[in-house]
Amino acid sequence: MAAVTLPEFAADQPAAMVDASLRQALYACDRAQECAVLWFAEVQRRGLYRQLGFASLQMYAVQALGFSDNRYWLFKRLADDLERLPVLRDAVATGTIGWTKARQVARVATAETQDVWVAKAQSIGRRELEVAVKAATARRPPVPEVQLDFEVASSPVADPPSIISLRADGVRLARYEALVEKAHKLGLAPEGADRLDLVLAGRGEKRLAPAQVESLACDARVRREGGPNRATIPPSVRAAVLARDRHRCAAPGCRSTRFLEVHHVLPRRLGGSNRAENLTTLCSRCHGFVHEHEGMVMLQDACRR
Beta strands in the chain (DSSP E): 145-151, 163-169, 221-222, 230-231, 260-264, 279-283
Global confidence as pTM:
0.65
Q: How far apart are CA 279 and CA 272, in angstroms?
A: 9
Q: Report CA torsion sign: 150, 154, 157, 159.
A: negative
List, in order, residues 6 or more apart from 231 with CB less than 8 Å away. Answer: 220, 221, 222, 238
In the structure, what pLDDT confidence band is assigned to residue 163 with cuts at 50, 70 and 90?
low
CB neighbours of residue 216 within 10 Å: 16
Highest mean pLDDT among 20-24, 50-54, 204-208: 20-24
Residues 170-179: pLDDT tens digits? Answer: 666 777 777 7
Identify the DSSP state of 225.
T
In the structure, what pLDDT confidence band is assigned to residue 199 with cuts at 50, 70 and 90?
low
CB 122 within 8 A of CB 129: no
Identify the DSSP state of 169.
E
Phi, psi (degrees; rounded to nearest 5) at 275:
-75, 150
The per-residue pLDDT for 297 is 46
Rounded to the nearest integer, the mean pLDDT of the chain is 82
Buried b or exposed e, range 183-195, using 16+ CB within 10 angstroms: beeeeebeeebeb
Over residues 54-71, the mean pLDDT reads: 91
The per-residue pLDDT for 153 is 46
Residues 123-157: pLDDT tens digits? Answer: 999 999 999 999 988 876 665 555 555 554 444 44
Of 283 and 226, the structure prediction assigns the larger pLDDT to 283
How much of the chain exceeds pLDDT 90, in percent? 35
The per-residue pLDDT for 165 is 67
Q: How far apart are CA 145 and CA 127, in angstroms?
A: 33
The per-residue pLDDT for 261 is 93
Q: Is the pLDDT of residue 169 over 80?
A: no
Q: How far apart are CA 224 and CA 235, in angstroms?
A: 18
Q: Is the pLDDT of residue 258 over 50?
A: yes
Highest mean pLDDT among 13-27, 195-209, 281-295: 13-27
Identify the DSSP state of 64.
I
Burial of 60 (0-12, 13-18, 19+ CB in 10 A): buried
Over residues 110-119, the mean pLDDT reads: 92
Residue 80 CB-half CA count within 13 A: 8
Q: Is the pLDDT of residue 200 over 70?
A: no
Of 231 and 195, the structure prediction assigns the larger pLDDT to 231
The per-residue pLDDT for 31 is 85
| Nearest Cα residue to 302 out of 48, 58, 40, 59 | 59
Q: Is the pLDDT of residue 205 over 90?
A: no
Of 16 and 221, the structure prediction assigns the larger pLDDT to 16
